[in-house]
Amino acid sequence: MDAPVASKPLRVALVGVPNCGKTALFNRLTGSRQKVANYPGVTVERREGERATADGRGLRVLDLPGTYGLTPTTLDEAITRDVLLGRLADTPVPDVVVCVVDAVHLPIGLRLALEVKRLGLPMILALNRMDMARRRGVSIDMERLAAELGTPVVPTVAVKRGGADQLVALLERAGPAPNRTVSAPAWHETTAEDAEQMQSDLRGLLAVAGYGPPRENPWFGRLDAVLLHPVSGLLLLALVLFVIFQAVFSWAAAPMDWIDASMASAGEWVLTHMPEGPLSSLLAHGVIAGAGAVLVFLPQIIILFFFILVLEDSGYLPRAAYLLDRLMGWVGLSGRAFIPLLSSHACAIPGIMATRTIPNWRDRLRVIMIAPLMTCSARLPVYSLLIAALIPRQDVGPFNLQGLVMFGLYAAGIVSALLVAYVMKHIAGSRQYSPLMLELPDFQWPHAGNLLLGLWERVKIFLSRVGGIILALMIVLWFLASYPEPPPEFTGPAIQYSYAGRLGALLQHVFAPLGFNWQISIALVPGLAAREVAVGALGTVYALSAASDDDVASKLEPLIAAEWSLATGCALLAWYVFAPQCLSTLAVVKRETNSWKYPLIMAGYLFALAYIAAFITFRVVNTWS
Amino acid sequence: MISHLPSSDTLTPGTLALSELRRGEKAVVMGLAGDESLLPRLRDLGFVPGMHCEVTARMWPGGDPMVVRIGGSTFALRRVEAAAIRVLQVRERDAVPATLAREGTSAATA
């Protein structure tokens, strides 16, 4: 049996300006056989996928971050340049570079291609969206362009099945990956003279290809006239956000109930079918409860990200960033901060990861620092419980009081985030200007396949980052709350005797000025590491045996209404708006900032704010009611 | 559309900063002048001499940021970024940029 001659897959890198359809092409080439990791030492995502080829050798495709030129302005763009220059230890220089260019916007993509060509690597130009180009009256003479440019040119239609076939065929013919030791390409930053040279080269290429500007789609102009207008634009943005949040709450309710109920019956099944003892207790109250605590957030996260991805794919999100840039500038943020902060309303973790698109490091850090102040899904169980128990069901004008309080809590998160950003802007002193220079892409219908892949990726990230920690936490909590078991003569609830109870008794001294009773103090022990655990913990403290979180909440409600003062409840709400009760978030901040300093600063300032806010709230509501 | 203009100093009388244009006004880029750190990226985006552009939106107040169409693409630029782009305004039916035509004689006497 012969061993294959060249069995190493061909290493292909995709390069292109943002919004050229590069990611869609990457998806088309690799399907679901993608792997997302990180470049060593930096927090930029490394997207690599594989594709089988007829000759059995296969392609390994690397989707490099989009950039407008090889002189980087962001960390992402620096990675693209460094990979092409072979400066990254683990990522060798690619065998072939595929420059993906949007045929409709040929000049801007071709300019980058000219810069990449100067590197001297084997290159192919992929003209993407050729179908769209034809529809808008753009014709490109590919043969003449290829001859003039000196590299092969192939058309691609990333969103259609088979749209990448010509590219794959060309790559297959590329020959065996030579066992060459490639010296890193020589490169220097583009000087003004280089720029002029490339500009005249570009003019020549465009003339040779017969490129003329695309026919304007009149709808784009009409849409932009409304969407970018200072008044109608902002009003429509507010409407879009309102619709999204409404949808997240109403659509997620049923699936969340279903998940809650399923976990509850799973737990019950374990308790009835296994002999009573530590193991069954661990499984039911530790593992299953833990898994349930994670899974119950998926519906909200999936729905919110669905909307965000639709807005992103359609081209609307950069327009929202444009509309908000001025307002956010007042507190020292850029319009680009809008997307991470919006995502943080589902969960701060993907929100913090989304800050990678912010060019300036100090700006990025500021957004990371305020992201946890956005009201994330995990706070909702506590908010809902306390509001239901303590806020009367009245109407204030046309509005429901309970609804108003909930809205007020959301607003408190956003307002406090803006205030903190404002303070940071003045503490940090003078800073380097970070540009906007944001492209507003053409409008397009979102593509279902890309949407699904994007959703799937975010779900995987949430489950792996958050799920692990919460599950581990629930098991630790179960242990701390169950042991040591009280002797028979002990009259209080079992949990008071346990480690968790003793810790809570200690914390009581710290929390007494805030009006927190010992039950809250104990529940906050695990609640400090993961917010959503607090309701279940409260249930355990009040010695409720209940099947699921929902059940616990409904049983807790009358207890709380009867026993807690309004001031205590409000103080706890105020605490929850600020307190950094999420180990997963702190862990992600450590990863994204590559240091312990920033998560510690974040935890510190948030605890301080939480304490102060709860203290003031307790005193004010106490004297007032 | 790329037109070939005679090479001229970017600060020729009659050039404006792009940030001074109103919504709907069109111009042709003459050159870049301003904060050095902005220029390379502006060139990458296509703001090079000879390119025609149009302002499609301006935020209140002061046009910061503004939206500019150039070379078939659309970009949002802050005032300080647009101020680094020197342009000659083009009226709809003019073959020659309006300011050159108007000030052609006075420039000779300057």
**What does the domain layout of chain B look like in residue ranges?**
1-91
Q: HSE (CB half, 13 Å, CA atoms) of A195? A: 20
- B25 phi and psi angles, rounded to 5 deg: -85, 145
Give the SS3 label for residue A412. Answer: helix
Contact B45 A224 (CB under 8 A): no
Using the Cβ of B3 and the Cβ atoms of chain A, whether some distance falls under 8 Å is answered with no
Lowest-pLDDT choice from A164-173, A213-222, B97-106? B97-106
Give the SS3 label for residue A355. Answer: helix
Q: How many CB atoms lie within 10 A of CB A388?
A: 16
Contact A17, A67 (CB under 8 A): yes
pLDDT digits (tens, 9 = 90+) for A318-341: 999 999 999 998 888 889 899 899
Task: Tell me which residues of chain A, numbers 69 to 88, contact chain B at a CB-CB cutoff of 8 Å.
Answer: 69, 71, 73
Which of A104, A108, A220 should be substituted to probe chain B, the one whose Cβ sees the most B Cβ atoms within 10 Å? A108
In order of A74, A247, B66, B85, the CA distances from B36 in angstroms are 17, 46, 21, 12
Contact A308, A237 (CB under 8 A): no
Q: Which CATH architecture has domain B1-91?
A: Roll (2.30)
Rounded distance, CA A393 to CA A316, Å?
38
Contact A325 B37 (CB under 8 A): no
Chain B residues with beta carbon closer than 8 angstroms to that of A69? 40-41, 43-44
Once rounded to an integer, what is the mean pLDDT over residues A562-589? 90
Residue partners of A565: CB distance under 8 A and separation at least 6: A515, A622, A625
- Say if residue A81's pLDDT is above 90: yes
What local confidence, expressed as pLDDT, does residue B100 receive? 45
Rounded distance, CA A509 to CA A520, Å?
12
Range picked from A154-158, A499-503, B12-16 for highest mean pLDDT: A154-158
- Say if residue A10's pLDDT is above 50: yes
Rounded distance, CA A357 to CA A156, Å?
27
Once rounded to an integer, what is the mean pLDDT over residues A463-468? 75
- What distance in Å separates residue B46's CA from the closest CA in chain A? 6
User: Is B68 or A255 the better-scoring residue by pLDDT?
Assistant: B68
Using the Cβ of B88 and the Cβ atoms of chain A, whether some distance falls under 8 Å is answered with no
What local confidence, expressed as pLDDT, does residue A37 receive? 74
Using the Cβ of A108 and the Cβ atoms of chain B, whether some distance falls under 8 Å is answered with yes
Chain A residues with beta carbon closer than 8 angstroms to that of B45? 68, 108, 437, 439
Contact B81 A437 (CB under 8 A): yes
Residue partners of A256: CB distance under 8 A and separation at least 6: A296, A299, A300
pLDDT digits (tens, 9 = 90+) for A137-148: 999 999 999 999
Sign of the CA dihedral A37, A39, A42, A47?
A: negative
ipTM score over 0.90, yes or no: no
What local confidence, expressed as pLDDT, does residue A513 receive? 93
Span between the terminal Cα atoms of chain A, in Å: 88
Q: What is the mean pLDDT of chain A?
A: 85
Could you please report the per-residue DSSP string of A375-411?
A: --GGGHHHHHHHHHHHS---EETTEEHHHHHHHHHHH
The dotted CATH code for A10-209 is 3.40.50.300
What local confidence, expressed as pLDDT, does residue A431 receive? 64
Rounded distance, CA A450 to CA A480, Å?
44
Residue partners of A203: CB distance under 8 A and separation at least 6: B2
Contact A318 B2 (CB under 8 A): no
Give the SS3 label for residue A211. Answer: coil
